[in-house]
């Protein structure tokens, strides 16, 4: 069984998990965070190849962007909130396949005082997304 840990940022094969406290910033009502400006392009897919995942970006307790080789980004919106995922920004998964699929389960990694397993949550489908060009 293949077990991997994805954390932000992921660098090389041996990724260190670090917890960073990001201060909340007030956002004007007319300003939308860049990650929320993504638009769907094409049909969602059920699985992505593990060998193509370059890094991940956790946005909140339900939203993970998978950055792939070639610049493609797949957004996975979990069917339910995964408590602590947005705060910890780190998760692990187990699969015996060479793909990560919507039927797979991720487990939040709590990093306060060492890596401890948190809640486990199901993935959703992988929706290709693009971001608006920077002005």
Tokens 């998990």 belong to: 17
What confidence score (pLDDT) does residue 28 get? 52
Q: Which residues of the chain have pLDDT under 50?
A: 1-3, 7-27, 29, 134-135
CA distance 16 to 90: 10
Chain centre distance of CA 39: 17
What confidence score (pLDDT) does residue 135 get? 41
The encoded tokens of residue 106 equal 């991720």
Compute the C-alpha angle 99/61/75, nearest 5°: 40
Which pTM was predicted? Answer: 0.73
The encoded tokens of residue 16 equal 């260190």
3-class state of residue 35 by DSSP: helix
């Amino acid at each position: 069984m293949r077990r991997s840990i994805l954390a932000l940022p992921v660098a090389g094969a041996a990724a260190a998990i670090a917890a960073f406290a990001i201060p909340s910033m007030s956002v004007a009502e007319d300003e939308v965070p860049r990650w929320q400006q993504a638009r769907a392009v094409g049909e969602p897919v059920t699985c992505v190849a593990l060998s193509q995942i370059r890094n991940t970006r956790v946005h909140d307790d339900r939203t993970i962007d998978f950055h792939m080789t070639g610049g493609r980004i797949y957004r996975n919106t979990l069917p339910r909130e995964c408590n602590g995922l947005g705060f910890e920004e780190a998760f692990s998964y187990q699969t015996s396949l060479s793909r990560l699929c919507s039927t797979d389960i991720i487990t939040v990694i709590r990093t306060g005082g060492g890596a401890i397993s948190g809640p486990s949550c199901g993935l959703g489908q992988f929706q290709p997304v693009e971001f608006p060009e920077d002005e």
